[in-house]
């Protein structure tokens, strides 16, 4: 069995690639998903794993600390942060910094991943600081362990005027929410997501094959549909 620890931003793609991998090889895949900080902590703590999918920066840190094999980093692509609402509710205007500021000020709740462990959560806090509305929005902030949890809550909520913010790939993969648009202009922060071979992988050969399937040219269409962007 191939063991994978992955950022939630890559969940939809990893699941699709894993299903095809299992059909082709009959090797089962056990994948778990959460915020990047939480997953990195599990790797550093010594959890057995074959493939690790996090931001490129964290994969590089794990290479430096000896937890990911040197030279094994392979990039999936870049992901931006976006805004979502419960499906069936009006879409807010988020096309400019002024419009986003007004949308956040008017929201009854702002759901996003915990900034202590999640890339998107850190981005949301930075955006609120740049817009000068941290104290105004703080009482309405609702933290979740990861973007999927935030989107599930938003999709199942019954309130009015609630907004969710997380990685675009986590919005597009969840039913019950509708993508309103990306963070505008210089408020946007693109994160590169990468896969790495665990230094102590129990199935290094299978892990390398999975990484190739996940990041190779044959995966481009799947990645693009999921919300990834590429430099070329």
Instruction: Return the axis-axis angle of helices 204-215 and 11-25, rounded to nearest 10°.
Output: 120
Residue 89: partners with Cβ closer than 8 Å, 6 or more residues away: 160, 162, 178
Domains, the chain, ranges and CATH?
2-78+192-226 (3.40.190.10), 81-187 (3.40.190.10)
What is the token pair recorded at 161? 């005027």
54-81 average pLDDT score:
98
The string of pLDDT tens digits covering residues 93-112 is 999 999 999 999 999 999 99
Mean pLDDT, range 85-90, rounded to an integer:
96
Closest CA to 14 of 23, 4, 25, 27: 4
CA–CA gap between residue 189 and residue 123 (Å, rounded): 7
Tens digits of residue pLDDT in 127-171: 999 999 999 999 999 999 999 999 999 999 988 899 999 999 999
% of the chain exceeding 90 in pLDDT:
98
Helix segments in the chain, DSSP class H: 11-25, 36-44, 56-64, 97-106, 119-131, 134-137, 147-156, 168-172, 204-215, 220-226
pLDDT level of residue 62 (50, 70, 90 thresholds): very high
Tell me how far apart the alpha carbons of residues 195 and 187 are, in angstroms, rounded to a whole number.
26
Q: Dihedrals φ, ψ of 43, to 5°?
A: -65, -45
From the list 154, 162, 118, the residue with the least C-alpha distance to 137 is 162
- What average pLDDT does range 31-48 have in this prediction? 96
Mean pLDDT of the chain: 96
**Predicted model pTM:** 0.92
| pLDDT for residue 67 | 98
- Selection from 150, 152, 167 nearest residue 227 by Cα: 167
Percent of the chain topping pLDDT 70:
100
Contact of 119 with 188, CB cutoff 8 Å: no
DSSP characters over 169-220? HHHHT-TTEEEEEEPPGGG---EEEEEEEBTT-SSHHHHHHHHHHHHSGGGH
pLDDT value of position 218 = 93
Q: What's the Cα-to-Cα distance from 109 to each of 30, 116, 161, 189, rounded to whole Å?
A: 34, 19, 7, 22
pLDDT of residue 159: 85
User: What pLDDT score was predicted for residue 231?
Assistant: 87
Kindly state the DSSP code that residue 68 receives in the 8-state scheme.
B
């Amino acid at each position: 069995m191939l063991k994978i620890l992955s950022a939630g931003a890559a969940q939809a793609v990893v699941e699709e690639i894993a299903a095809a991998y299992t059909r082709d090889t009959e090797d089962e895949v056990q994948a778990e998903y959460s915020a990047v900080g939480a997953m990195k902590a599990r790797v550093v703590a010594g959890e057995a794993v074959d493939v690790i999918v996090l931001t490129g920066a964290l994969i590089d840190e794990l290479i430096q600390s000896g937890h990911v094999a040197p030279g094994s980093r392979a990039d999936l692509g870049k992901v931006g942060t976006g805004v979502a609402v419960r499906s069936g509710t009006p879409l807010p205007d988020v096309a400019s910094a002024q419009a986003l500021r007004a949308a956040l000020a008017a929201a009854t709740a702002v759901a996003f991943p915990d900034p202590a462990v999640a890339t998107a959560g850190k981005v949301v806090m930075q955006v609120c600081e740049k817009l000068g509305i941290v104290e105004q929005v703080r009482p309405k902030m609702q933290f979740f362990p990861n973007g999927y949890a935030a989107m599930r809550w938003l999709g199942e909520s019954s309130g009015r005027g609630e907004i969710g913010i997380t990685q675009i790939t986590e919005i597009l993969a969840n039913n019950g929410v509708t993508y309103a648009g990306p963070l505008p202009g210089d408020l946007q922060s693109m994160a590169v997501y990468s896969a790495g071979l665990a230094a102590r992988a129990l199935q290094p050969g299978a892990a390398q094959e999975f990484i190739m399937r996940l990041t190779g040219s044959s995966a481009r269409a799947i990645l693009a549909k999921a919300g990834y962007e590429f430099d070329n």
